[in-house]
Amino acid sequence: MSNQETLQVQHKNSKQRERIFQILCSTDSHPTADWVYAKLKPEIPSLSLGTVYRNLRILMERAKIRRLENGSSFDRLMPISMRIIISFVNCVNQVMDVELPHNETLNSEAARVTGFQIDDHRIDFTGICKDCLSPS
Protein backbone atom coordinates (compact mmCIF):
# COMPACT_ATOMS: atom_id res chain seq x y z
CA MET A 1 0.00 0.00 0.00
CA SER A 2 2.59 2.51 1.00
CA ASN A 3 6.21 2.56 0.10
CA GLN A 4 8.56 1.09 2.67
CA GLU A 5 11.06 3.86 2.42
CA THR A 6 9.06 7.01 1.86
CA LEU A 7 5.47 7.52 2.79
CA GLN A 8 3.82 8.67 -0.39
CA VAL A 9 1.92 11.90 0.02
CA GLN A 10 -0.81 12.51 -2.44
CA HIS A 11 -0.89 15.98 -3.92
CA LYS A 12 -4.11 17.88 -4.13
CA ASN A 13 -4.74 20.97 -6.11
CA SER A 14 -4.85 24.14 -4.16
CA LYS A 15 -5.68 27.50 -5.62
CA GLN A 16 -3.43 29.16 -3.09
CA ARG A 17 -0.38 27.08 -3.94
CA GLU A 18 -0.98 27.40 -7.63
CA ARG A 19 -1.20 31.19 -7.50
CA ILE A 20 1.85 31.46 -5.22
CA PHE A 21 3.87 29.56 -7.76
CA GLN A 22 2.50 31.58 -10.67
CA ILE A 23 3.38 34.82 -8.94
CA LEU A 24 6.92 33.65 -8.30
CA CYS A 25 7.19 32.77 -11.96
CA SER A 26 5.84 36.13 -13.05
CA THR A 27 8.61 38.21 -11.53
CA ASP A 28 12.36 38.15 -11.48
CA SER A 29 12.64 40.23 -8.35
CA HIS A 30 13.11 37.19 -6.08
CA PRO A 31 10.45 38.42 -3.71
CA THR A 32 10.01 37.62 -0.04
CA ALA A 33 7.28 35.50 1.46
CA ASP A 34 5.63 38.62 2.76
CA TRP A 35 5.65 40.22 -0.66
CA VAL A 36 3.94 37.19 -2.14
CA TYR A 37 1.38 37.33 0.63
CA ALA A 38 0.65 41.02 0.09
CA LYS A 39 0.39 40.49 -3.64
CA LEU A 40 -2.12 37.69 -3.28
CA LYS A 41 -4.15 38.96 -0.36
CA PRO A 42 -6.45 41.25 -2.41
CA GLU A 43 -7.21 38.38 -4.74
CA ILE A 44 -7.71 35.81 -1.99
CA PRO A 45 -8.83 37.81 1.04
CA SER A 46 -8.97 34.75 3.25
CA LEU A 47 -5.30 33.99 2.60
CA SER A 48 -3.06 33.77 5.64
CA LEU A 49 0.67 34.21 5.89
CA GLY A 50 1.00 30.75 7.40
CA THR A 51 -0.48 29.28 4.25
CA VAL A 52 2.04 31.14 2.16
CA TYR A 53 4.93 29.83 4.18
CA ARG A 54 3.52 26.32 4.21
CA ASN A 55 3.15 26.31 0.46
CA LEU A 56 6.56 27.79 -0.12
CA ARG A 57 7.96 24.92 1.87
CA ILE A 58 5.97 22.41 -0.13
CA LEU A 59 7.07 24.00 -3.39
CA MET A 60 10.67 23.75 -2.23
CA GLU A 61 10.25 20.12 -1.27
CA ARG A 62 8.82 19.45 -4.70
CA ALA A 63 11.74 21.30 -6.27
CA LYS A 64 9.56 23.92 -7.87
CA ILE A 65 11.22 26.88 -6.23
CA ARG A 66 14.50 27.80 -4.67
CA ARG A 67 15.10 29.88 -1.59
CA LEU A 68 17.94 32.33 -1.33
CA GLU A 69 19.37 33.64 1.89
CA ASN A 70 20.92 36.81 0.68
CA GLY A 71 22.02 38.59 3.78
CA SER A 72 18.92 40.55 4.47
CA SER A 73 16.64 39.24 7.16
CA PHE A 74 14.18 37.96 4.61
CA ASP A 75 14.67 34.89 2.55
CA ARG A 76 14.02 35.44 -1.12
CA LEU A 77 12.34 33.12 -3.53
CA MET A 78 12.49 32.21 -7.16
CA PRO A 79 11.27 29.40 -9.39
CA ILE A 80 13.75 26.61 -9.81
CA SER A 81 13.73 27.20 -13.53
CA MET A 82 15.61 30.47 -13.16
CA ARG A 83 18.99 28.88 -13.30
CA ILE A 84 21.16 31.57 -14.71
CA ILE A 85 20.27 34.05 -12.04
CA ILE A 86 22.29 32.65 -9.22
CA SER A 87 24.52 35.56 -8.52
CA PHE A 88 23.97 38.75 -6.67
CA VAL A 89 25.59 41.99 -5.93
CA ASN A 90 24.81 43.29 -2.50
CA CYS A 91 25.16 46.95 -1.78
CA VAL A 92 23.75 48.75 1.22
CA ASN A 93 20.52 49.58 -0.52
CA GLN A 94 20.38 47.46 -3.60
CA VAL A 95 20.37 43.83 -4.59
CA MET A 96 20.98 43.12 -8.22
CA ASP A 97 21.25 40.04 -10.35
CA VAL A 98 24.48 39.35 -12.12
CA GLU A 99 23.97 37.39 -15.27
CA LEU A 100 27.28 35.66 -15.61
CA PRO A 101 27.52 32.59 -17.80
CA HIS A 102 27.32 29.46 -15.71
CA ASN A 103 30.79 28.35 -14.73
CA GLU A 104 30.97 24.59 -14.52
CA THR A 105 34.69 24.68 -13.89
CA LEU A 106 34.08 26.07 -10.43
CA ASN A 107 31.97 23.05 -9.60
CA SER A 108 34.56 20.51 -10.68
CA GLU A 109 37.29 22.46 -8.90
CA ALA A 110 35.30 22.37 -5.68
CA ALA A 111 34.49 18.70 -6.18
CA ARG A 112 38.15 17.91 -6.59
CA VAL A 113 39.17 19.84 -3.49
CA THR A 114 36.41 18.60 -1.21
CA GLY A 115 35.46 15.17 -2.42
CA PHE A 116 31.84 16.25 -2.42
CA GLN A 117 29.51 15.70 -5.29
CA ILE A 118 28.87 19.31 -6.29
CA ASP A 119 25.49 20.08 -7.79
CA ASP A 120 25.45 23.82 -8.10
CA HIS A 121 26.84 27.05 -6.81
CA ARG A 122 25.92 30.61 -6.23
CA ILE A 123 28.16 33.61 -6.13
CA ASP A 124 27.45 36.57 -3.90
CA PHE A 125 29.34 39.68 -4.75
CA THR A 126 29.60 42.57 -2.36
CA GLY A 127 30.31 46.06 -3.51
CA ILE A 128 29.01 49.54 -4.01
CA CYS A 129 26.30 50.39 -6.51
CA LYS A 130 26.37 53.35 -8.85
CA ASP A 131 24.00 55.40 -6.71
CA CYS A 132 26.21 55.02 -3.70
CA LEU A 133 29.36 55.78 -5.69
CA SER A 134 27.98 59.07 -6.99
CA PRO A 135 24.84 60.13 -5.14
CA SER A 136 22.57 62.31 -7.21
φ and ψ at residue 129, rounded to 5 degrees: -80, 170
Site for DNA in 42-71 (CB under 7 A): 44, 46-51, 53-58
Decide the pairing of beta strands 95-97 and 65-69.
Answer: unpaired
**70 vs 107, beta carbon nearer DNA:** 70
C-alpha distances (whole Å) from 105 to each of 82, 119, 123 are 20, 12, 14
Binding mask 64-103 for its own copies (x = CB under 8 A): -----xxx---------------x-x-x----x-xxx---
User: Out of DNA, its own copies, none, which partner does residue 84 contact, by CB within 5 to 8 A per kind?
Assistant: none
Contact string 5-34 vs DNA (x = CB under 7 A): ----xxxxxxxxx--------------xxx
Instruction: Name the residue nearer to its own copies (CB basis): 48 or 108.
Output: 108
Long-range contacts of 83-89 (CB under 8 A, 24+ apart): 85/28, 85/30, 86/120, 86/121, 86/122, 86/123, 87/122, 87/123, 87/124, 87/125, 88/122, 88/123, 88/124, 88/125, 89/125, 89/126, 89/127, 89/129
Q: Which residues bind its own copies (CB under 8 A)?
A: 69-71, 87, 89, 91, 96, 98-100, 106-107, 109-111, 113-130, 133
Q: Which residues bind DNA (CB under 7 A)?
A: 9-17, 32-34, 44, 46-51, 53-58, 73-75
